Amino acid sequence: MKQAIAVLGLCAAMAWPTTSRAFCGFYVSGADASLYNNATMVVMMREGTRTVLSMQNNYQGPPEDFAMVVPVPVVLQEDNVKTLPPEIFARVDKLAAPRLVEYWEQDPCRQLVAYEMMAGNAPRSAARKSVAADAEEDYGVTIEAQFKVAEYDIVILSAKDSGGLDKWLRKNEYNIPKGAEKVLRPYVEQDTKFFVAKVDAKKVKFKNGSAVLSPLRFHYDAPTFTLPVRLGLLNSSGKQDLIVHLLGKQQRYEVANYKNASIPTNIRVDDSVRKSFGAFYDALFERTIEKNPGAVVTEYSWDATTCDPCPEPPLRPDELATLGADVLVPAEKDPYSDIPGVVPRRRPPTRWRPSGFVLTRLHYRYEKDGLGEDLVFRAAGPIVGGRGMPDRNGDLQERRAQASSFNNFQGRYVILHRWQGEIACDNPVRGQWGGPPDGPTPRPFAAGNTALKGTSGKTLTNQLPGLIRTDIPELDLEAGTVDLSPKGEPESEGKGPTPEGCSVSPARTASFGWIALGIVAMGLRRRRTAR
């Protein structure tokens, strides 16, 4: 496994040996053995000038002390930082991941029933200094705050110059990579602070050799909505994936300083795609960025409390609060609080109901020299795409993102099955679509891993014409020849559901991997001194 690298920057890191990983900040191991990230998941929330950053990091490495260094725009205090349950990140990932669905043609002789499809609705005590404060000041480094949260010992640093910070880190037994001072310089010049979270290995749980750390959440106020990622390029030796999940109050986001593109959607695919949906989607993504070089691709934008179809239930109000809505949305003000002599009443927590958050998923794949600037996000107008039922011929509309008054866009890929039973009526009506004839409609299969190992995506790119059943002119892809017309003898695009239905278990799909949402990171190794 290549040593993972990354720094504050939301990016998706794939859990594959040949793919460089992305993390939040510098990661530090107490031993010389390579430390790499198995899964980093990040969600960002934004409203006004407030940003909430939530991240989950799973490690594989020796059971030594770990540390993480993340650039932040302001000094954080203990109230700004908390830990989260890990399950919330898998929920966000699965909800926004590209999905594979399938429909079956209904009995042409059945009595027609009209169905209506619902669209988504639409300050503490003064900072303490360590015993080494005098030595730190020699380097222009100041400990602005320090506190403990769960297994983390957190220190917030400021620095007068990058050379002093570089020396301070080395003096304090962090063997940072060569070239770090140059990359740190612009952050120091912008008066950026540094969030340093060391971990007590005695408090860390390990699973299959990987350290499972409590996910961290912290919030801060800053005029711009950015994601610092440049430090993560220091040790980059190949491609990396950034996957950014953004939650905004009634707001979709896109990047302001890179190109933007959207993934083609509502594409019919061959039944064989169910066996390797992750690899298929990776190939489609590779083709998309080939035709849109340097673009950040939008894969999802939808109200976080609705979905259609739903791989699993959408986010609940308490989950939105967990991800940061509790510090974004002010509590309801007591109408009598301004009257002299009246004690304001404390509102019960159950009265608070966060709503209207749009979940946006952005995906960027880049080489070491392809990320010269930190990501800057801007508000963008609502879009729709990837919805609706097939028509009589099996075609779907909304194959591209279109401007709208609300957000309903998703990467959706469809397997269709023509009616294979007897047609025993004089006037059959073909092209009516729904669930399987012998059971309930299975749950859609979320791609999850869209940053696959090695060159699997590129290998499949050449096979895309044989896997798609819908032309994608913007990608210069012409579908393979399959007759889905109701004329003549009906043909089947696939042989129906697997015994378990359309959902393919990730554990049984050879090409399926779990996507890691994360922030770009850079690895540091902590030297152990003889005692």
Of 269, 324, 307, nearest to 464 by C-alpha is 269
Q: pLDDT above 90 covers what percent of the chain?
A: 38
**What are 510's two structure tokens?**
């050879």
pLDDT tens-digit readout, 305-327: 999 888 888 999 999 999 999 99
Q: What is the pLDDT of residue 53?
A: 92
The model's confidence at residue 196, banded by pLDDT at 50, 70 and 90, is: confident
When comparing pLDDT for 330 and 215, which is higher?
215
Per residue in 245-271, pLDDT tens? Answer: 999 999 999 999 999 999 999 999 999
User: Is 379 a residue whose pLDDT tops 90?
Assistant: yes
**Separation CA 41–CA 244 (nearest Å):** 9
Look at residue 153 in the predicted model and tell me its pLDDT.
Answer: 86
103 DSSP β-pair partners: 416
* Full DSSP string of 422-439: ---SSS-----EES-TTS
The average pLDDT across 371-391 equals 91
Q: Which residue has the higher pLDDT, 211 or 147?
A: 147
pLDDT attached to residue 318:
93
Quickly count helices (H) and strands (E) in the chain. 9, 30
- How many residues are listed for the chain in this entry? 531
The Cα–Cα gap between 6 and 11 comes to 9
Do residues 456 and 16 touch, judged by C-beta distance below 8 A? no
Instruction: Give the pLDDT of residue 287.
Output: 95
Q: Do 517 and 93 meet the contact criterion of CB atoms below 8 Å apart?
A: yes
- The more confident residue out of 134 and 77 is 77
64 — pLDDT class (breaks 50, 70, 90): low
pTM: predicted TM-score of the whole model, two decimal places:
0.77
Q: How does residue 17 score in pLDDT terms, banded at 50, 70 and 90?
A: very low
